[in-house]
Amino acid sequence: MTTTLQRPPSERPDFATELRDSRLPLWLPRAILLGAVAVGLALAFLSPLNIPQAVIIAWLLMWALPIASRIVEGSRKATDRTVTLLVTSAFGLALIPLGSILGLVISKGAPQLSADFFTFSMRNVVGEGGGIYHALIGTLLITAAATIISVPIGLFTAIYLVEYGAGNRLSRWITFLVDVMTGIPSIVAGLFAYALFVIFFGEGVRLGIGGAVALSVLMVPIVVRACEEMLKLVPNELREAAYALGVPKWRTVVKIVLPTAISGIVTGVTLSIARVIGETAPLLIIAGLTDSVNFNLFGERMATLPVFTYYSVKFPGVPPEASIDRGWGAALVLIMIVMLLNLVARAVSYFFSPKGER
Amino acid sequence: MTEREKSAARPVRRLGDRIFEGLSTSAGILILLTLLGVAIFLTIEGVPGITASPEELGSKTGGKGFFAYVWPLVFGTIWAALIALVIAVPVSIGVALYISHYAPPRLSSTLGYIVDLLAAVPSVVYGLWGLLFLSRELRPAYQWLAENLGFIPLFAGNDNGGVSSNSILTASLVLAVMILPIMTAICREIFLQTPRLHEEAALALGATRFEMVRMAVFPYARSGIVSASMLGLGRALGETMAVAMVLSASGVVTFNLIGSTNPSTIAANIALQFPEAFGLYTNVLIATGLVLFVITFAANFAARAIVERRKDFSGAN
């Protein structure tokens, strides 16, 4: 026996309306965005309101979209649009400090850059004039020394972790402690260098090499991490092929593994230099500040760009303008060095990585 | 078994191998020794400062013993870092989400690189920006806060109704900007690792984009977000220059965010005092550095423990 359930035609669901809820037109989000931006621009330039106030008003106008969505589309879609607005605003919010910092440093620092600024030290300079030659030399020397200390230690540790350790107890400990080291505050690294050197040189010691040691404490974990990642990427087939040909392990590492990973290692080392070259706190503690050029890492105080910037701005003396301007100039030079190192790192990884991995 | 067979059974160990393995192993051990050295040397130089009596320390510490001296600094360090974290966590999750799931896919790596640029700015430049730009721009906003929300103790301002813009809120805002890129980078990586099938399943069931994020991305990324936050906290605890330059500190314990008397932080206090310190006061400052080391170590350790514990339940398997 069969019964057919015949639904009366009037009760058939109307798919056209049920599946396609009423929706806001597709052009509306874009229109509201453009409208809000236009109003914001108009308020910023044509009314007495200042730029932050105009931005806030424009942002509030954008809430028209979630509100319209709640009325037309219902709460689920409205929540979605609200979150989209919030997430996009968060990104915009993050760009504000970046734009503000770069704009400010470039606009205030660029007028300071001149041949004199790069070739004069601060020796016997009162008021205007003077330059960052001594600080530039100090930064380059201390960072170079830190690199010379950190790269062999970091690279050999990475080789140990990848090639020899193979997850034994010592290598697990090293991995853990390298993680801990990445978390050491930079000022503690400076205090460590001071506490180390004070034992040999007595109280109040200030040495360029101390700054290099402090920077190394910060740099080694970064180098280990970068090199370890790169060595792990080297395919095991390459190593096995070398062993099969009777090549000793150390020659395999030197001739096969390292050349394969070299572009990644150079990139990692360059990025780690970029990370530590802007460090201020440890150098403030152990390298100090001087007005004269000092080429000797092992004697006397040594000026560096970050410390020079700090003192120029925090303790400008009277009148303050010239000193603060020099601070902006030094900050611009520092940022340019860091950005240049980042660019070099990217270029190396782009042009020298093994073929087929780009 | 002859002597010859015995040696053939073992792999050949050349001199080069032994030297190379020795070098690698000793580099690894040197790292262990360095970390041990940080703890030991700080302790050696710090202990005279901890054990000194208030009379010996004299006016530099305000006639207080070590622990009375360090307590407001510990409070300030944790307080400033927590405010920075409260500001930075939602923003960094939003930025990471925008880059990983909302921005046009073609742009996402470029946008990520732009946010990473924030990490390339040296800390002293942040300090410069906070001192000479941000604190001046924020003054009207603080004035408004003090006038309209002054009944909340956080926004009480000064007794005379004024506000100070070189306050702990400004310092924490700068700290928040500084820890934003590292937290965003970690969150972004985790969000991008969400299994594609989970996301597509949610969308196929009719979820909106936010519902997909809530149901597929967030549960998967929870432990990553926690560890990113703890890492950011560690950074904020130890950050020196921004606070040293922005904050006008007076070593008090207060929850007032926009007043002219602010608690200092350990790191900023060392940076400000150390260059002119001598005698026993140097030891006191090094001892406060040891305290900071212990605090950041604890924060990082906690982050690791949380990640380890959550790993099994994160949905990654």
- A147-161, A173-187, A207-221: lowest mean pLDDT where? A173-187
Could you tell me which chain B residue has the CA closest to the CA of A289? Answer: B275
Whether B137 sits inside 8 A of A339 (CB atoms) is no
| Percent of chain B at pLDDT exceeding 70 | 90
Reported as a single tens digit per residue, the pLDDT across A201-232 is 888 788 889 999 999 999 999 999 999 989 99
The minimum CA-CA distance between B152 and chain A, rounded to whole Å, is: 24
Does some domain include residue B217?
Answer: yes
Query: Are A227 and A331 within one domain?
Result: yes
User: For chain B, how are helix, strand and coil distributed in percent, rounded to 5?
Assistant: 75, 0, 20
Would you say residue A19 lies in a domain? no
- In a domain, residue A358? The reply is no
Whole-complex ipTM: 0.86
Instruction: Grade residue A358 by pLDDT with cuts at 50, 70 and 90.
Output: very low
pLDDT at A11 exceeding the cut of 80: no
User: What pLDDT, on a 0 to 100 scale, did the predictor assign at position B57?
Assistant: 72
Q: Is the pLDDT of residue B133 over 80?
A: yes
Residues of chain A contacting B22 with CB distance shorter than 8 Å: none
Reply yes or no on whether the pLDDT at B316 is more than 70. no
Asked if A60 and A182 sit in the same domain, the reply is no
Burial A21-55 (b: 16+ CB within 10 A, else e): eeebeeeebeebbeebeeebeebbeeeeeeeeebb
Indicate whether A257 belongs to any domain: yes
Cα separation, A222 vs A267, in Å, equals 12
Has residue B292 been placed in a domain?
yes
Distances (CA, A) of A256 to A153, A197, A265, B16: 20, 40, 14, 16
Question: Shortest Cα distance from B85 to chain A (angstroms)?
Answer: 15
Task: Report, as an integer, the average pLDDT of A26-46.
Answer: 86
Q: Tell me, what CATH number does A296's domain have?
A: 1.10.3720.10
Residue B247 sits at the vertex; the CA angle it makes with B250 and B83, to the nearest 5 degrees, is: 100
- What pLDDT shows up at residue A268? 92
Nearest CB to A184 within list B25, B38, B111: B38
pLDDT at B1: 47
Q: Please indicate, yes or no, if residue B255 is contained in any of the structural domains.
A: yes
What residues of B are in contact with residue A338 (Cβ under 8 Å)?
120-122
Which residue from B16, B285, B297 is facing A180, i.e. has the nearest CB?
B297
Q: What pLDDT is attached to residue A318?
A: 76
| Contact yes or no for A294/A303 (Cβ under 8 A) | yes
Task: Test A314 with B131 for CB contact under 8 angstroms.
Answer: yes
The count of structural domains within chain B is: 1
**Residue B90 C-alpha, separation from nearest chain A C-alpha, in angstroms:** 8
Position B55 confidence tier, pLDDT thresholds 50, 70, 90? confident
Q: What is the mean pLDDT of residues B169-188?
A: 92
Higher pLDDT, A350 or B87: B87
Q: Do A141 and A262 belong together in one domain? A: yes
Smallest Cβ distance to A253: which of B20, B123, B127?
Answer: B20
A159 plus A304 within the same structural domain:
yes
Q: What domain range includes position B234?
A: 18-311
CB of B122 less than 8 A from some CB of A = yes
Do A101 and A191 fall into the same domain? no
State whether A78 and A146 are in the same domain.
no
Any B CB within 8 A of A331 CB: yes
Q: What is the pLDDT of residue B78?
A: 92
Mutate to test the interface with B, among A49, A55, A91 (most CBs of B within 10 A): A91
Helix, strand or coil, per DSSP, at residue B101: helix
User: Among the three residues A111, A141, A165, which one is the final residue of a domain in this structure?
Assistant: A111
Closest chain B CA to residue A181: B35
Q: Which residues in chain B touch residue A267, judged by CB atoms under 8 angstroms apart?
A: none
Query: Which tokens hold the place of B198?
Result: 């989970």
Asked if B291 has any chain A CB less than 8 Å from its own CB, the reply is no
CB atoms within 10 A of CB A307: 30
Contact B274 A284 (CB under 8 A): yes
Q: Is the pLDDT of residue B2 over 70?
A: no
Does A152 score more than 80 pLDDT? yes
Average pLDDT score over residue span B269-280? 86
Whole-number pLDDT of residue B171: 92
Q: Pick from A80, A111, A142: which residue ends a domain? A: A111
Note whether residue B206 is domain-resident: yes
Q: What is the mean pLDDT of residues B123-141?
A: 89
Instruction: Tell me if B10 is assigned to some domain.
Output: no
* Closest chain A CA to residue B283: A195
Those of residues 100-129 in A touching chain B at CB distance below 8 A are 100-101, 104-105
> Using one digit for the tens of pLDDT, what is the confidence trace for B180-235?
998 999 899 889 888 899 999 999 998 999 999 999 999 888 888 888 898 889 88
Rounded to the nearest integer, the mean pLDDT of chain B is 84
pLDDT tens profile A242-281: 999 999 889 999 999 999 899 899 999 999 999 899 899 9
CA–CA dist B22, A160 (Å, integer):
9
B36-58: average pLDDT:
84
Q: Using CA coordinates, name the residue in chain B closest to A327.
A: B128
Q: Which positions 97-116 of B are in contact with A (Cβ < 8 Å)?
A: 97-99, 102-103, 111, 114-115
Provide the mean pLDDT of chain A. Answer: 86
Q: What CATH number is given to the structural domain containing B128?
A: 1.10.3720.10
**Percent of chain B surpassing pLDDT 90:** 29
Same domain? A207 vs A331: yes
Whole-number pLDDT of residue B30: 92
Q: Which residue of B has its CA nearest to A330?
A: B125
Q: For residue B5, what pLDDT is reported? A: 52
Residues A104 and A146 in one domain: no
- Same-domain status, A209 and A334: yes
CB-based contact B122 A80, cutoff 8 Å = no
Q: How many domains does chain A have?
A: 2
The nearest CA of chain A is from the CA of B297 a distance in Å of: 7
Task: List CB contacts (< 8 A) between B111 and chain A.
Answer: 91
pLDDT band at A10 (very low <50, low <70, confident <90, very high): low
pLDDT higher for B150 or B185? Answer: B185
> Best of A49, A55, A177, A188 to disrupt the B interface by mutation (most B CBs within 10 Å)?
A188
A357: confidence class by pLDDT, cuts 50, 70, 90: very low
pLDDT in tens, A104-142: 999 998 988 888 888 888 877 777 778 889 999 999 999
Binned at pLDDT 50, 70 and 90, residue B310 comes out as low
pLDDT, tens digit, 9 for 90 and up, residues B64-74: 778 888 888 99
Residue A161 scores a pLDDT above 80: yes
In a domain, B32, yes or no: yes
CA distance A344 to A352: 12
Nearest-neighbour CA in chain B from A12: distance (Å): 23
Is residue B38 less than 8 Å (CB to CB) from chain A?
Answer: yes
Same domain, yes or no: A138 and A91: no
Does B122 contact A338 at a Cβ distance shorter than 8 Å? yes
Say if A285 is an interface residue toward chain B (CB within 8 Å).
yes
Domain carrying residue A105: 24-111
Domain membership of residue B208 (yes or no) is yes
- How far apart CA A17 and CA A26 sit, in angstroms, is 18
Q: Does B158 fall in a domain? A: yes
Instruction: Please indicate, yes or no, if residue A1 is contained in any of the structural domains.
Output: no
